[in-house]
Structure 1
Amino acid sequence: MARVVVDVMPKPEILDPQGKAVLGALPRLGFTGVTEVRQGKRFELEVDGEATDEMLAEVHQMAETLLSNPVIENFTVHVDPA
């Protein structure tokens, strides 16, 4: 059994109001030195068998059609080594 991770983030040109809210809250909580925050999503998929190229291609298709909105988001797919 393998674990595949899909990380989804807003494209750089897309405004991220949640990230801006977190960025504004950090100094009020005493945290300094952070200049930008972008908030995204992480999906962990447990799949049967090994992480083959075919299985990773299928997860990529899942990410493209269901897990992300390709118009406003980018995503990466990788196998969790743990």
Structure 2
Amino acid sequence: MKVKVEVFLKPGVLDVQGKAIEGALHGLGFHDVAEVRVGKTIAFDLAEEPRDKAEARVRSMCERLLANMVIEGYRVEIG
């Protein structure tokens, strides 16, 4: 099964990359852009198993390695 994990900074955590991109976009004339946030997407294949078990395993992966739970959140998509 295909898995996609999106990791992003929690609200209130300063996103330095997002601010830099926002500034660059403004410099290019895109002044209507605001609150840019940068995250990462991690995609992988997982052996077939019941969906609830797969979700639990992927959440464990996120909380143990893929996301820094102090400053990041994540969203899981299993297809």
TM-score for the superposition, normalised by structure 1? 0.86
Count, aligned residues: 79
**Once the 2 structures are TM-superposed, how far is the Cα of residue 55 of structure 1 from its aligned partner?**
1.0
User: Partner letter of residue 41 of structure 1?
Assistant: K
The answer to whether 1:19 aligns with 2:18 is: yes
Equivalent residue, structure 2, for 1:8: 7
RMSD: 1.4
User: Partner letter of residue 48 of structure 2?
Assistant: G
> Percentage identity across aligned positions?
46
Cα deviation 1:20-60 (Å, max 9, x = unaligned)? 00000002223231111011111112112256110111011
Contact 1:4 1:79 in 2 (8 A): yes
5+ residue gaps in structure 1?
Answer: none
SS at match of 2:6: strand
The answer to whether 1:65 aligns with 2:32 is: no
Contact 1:11 1:73 in 2 (8 A): yes
5+ residue gaps in structure 2?
Answer: none
Equivalent residue, structure 2, for 1:47: 46
CA distance in 1, matches of 2:46, 2:27: 42
TM-score for the superposition, normalised by structure 2? 0.89
SS at match of 2:34: coil
